[in-house]
Amino acid sequence: MIENNLDNTGKQLPIMEHFLSIQGEGFHTGLASYFIRIGGCDVGCHWCDVKESWNPDLHPLTEVDQLIKHIPNHIKTIVITGGEPSLYNLDYLTGQLKKLGKNIHIETSGTGHLTGHLDWICLSPKKNDPPKNTFYQSANELKIIVFNQTDFKFAEQQASLIEHQNCKLFLQPEWSQRDKMTPLIITYVENNPKWKISLQTHKYLNIP
C-alpha cells in the first residue's frame, strides 16, 4: 500500500480530479455520481485512457475533509476510481462519506488492499497484474475490458474465481477497438447470457 501521508491514515490523498457526472459504464450506467479520481497506478495498461493518473507524484496531496466539501448534498453516489484506488487506505475517506449518508462505489483492478466502507465493488482485472483474492470474494460487479479475442478466455477464467453468487458480469469493448470488438461481444453475450454488455456511454455523450 502506498503511504499517502506520513501516518498513512488516509486523511490526505493524491487527488487527480473530482467532478460531478453520470456513471457511464457497467451496472450503474446512467446514475448521477460524484467521481473521485486518485492518482497512482501499479498496473499500467497500454490502452489506459487516463495514463496521466499513473504517477501519484504529479497530483497534490489533498485534505480529504476539504475534498468532501465540494460534493453536492443531493448527490448520493460517490465513485472512487483512479489510477488504482486500492493502493491507498480508504478508511477515512469512506468513513467521512458514510457520515454524510453517501453510497460508495469503487472501480478497481484489485491489485492493492481492500479497505474502507464500500457499498459496491466493481472489479476490473488485468492480465499483467491479477487481483488479490479478497476482491474475488467481495466483488459485486466483474467488468472485463475486451481488447482482443483472447480476452474472452480471460473473462471466463476470471468469472470462475468470483465467489459472490450475485456478482454481475460485464464485457466492455476497449474504446479504440470498439468497432472491431463490439460485434464479437454481441455474439458472445448472445451465446453466453450470464454476461452483459457494458459501453462507455459517457464518451458517446461527451461528458467526463
Q: Which residues contact 181 (CB under 8 A, 6 or more apart)?
A: 146, 147, 148, 173, 174
Q: Which residues are 77's β-sheet partners?
A: 103
Mean per-residue pLDDT, 186-197: 98
Grid cell for residue 114: 481492500
pLDDT of 6: 43
Q: Are 64 and 92 in contact (CB under 8 A)?
A: yes
Query: Tell me: the pLDDT tens digits for 27-64?
Result: 999 999 999 999 999 888 888 888 899 999 899 899 99
Rounded CA-CA distance 109/27 in Å is: 16
Strand order in the sheet with 141-146: 61-63, 12-22, 32-38, 77-82, 103-108, 120-123, 141-146, 168-173, 195-197
pLDDT of 20: 98
7: pLDDT strictly greater than 70 = no
Domain parsing of the chain, residue ranges? 12-204
Mean pLDDT of the chain: 94
Q: Which residues are 126's β-sheet partners?
A: 129
pLDDT of 47: 82
Query: Tell me: the pLDDT tens digits for 120-151?
Result: 999 999 998 999 999 999 999 999 999 999 99
CATH number of 12-204: 3.20.20.70
164: pLDDT strictly greater than 90 = no
- Name the pLDDT band for 5 (thresholds 50, 70, 90): very low
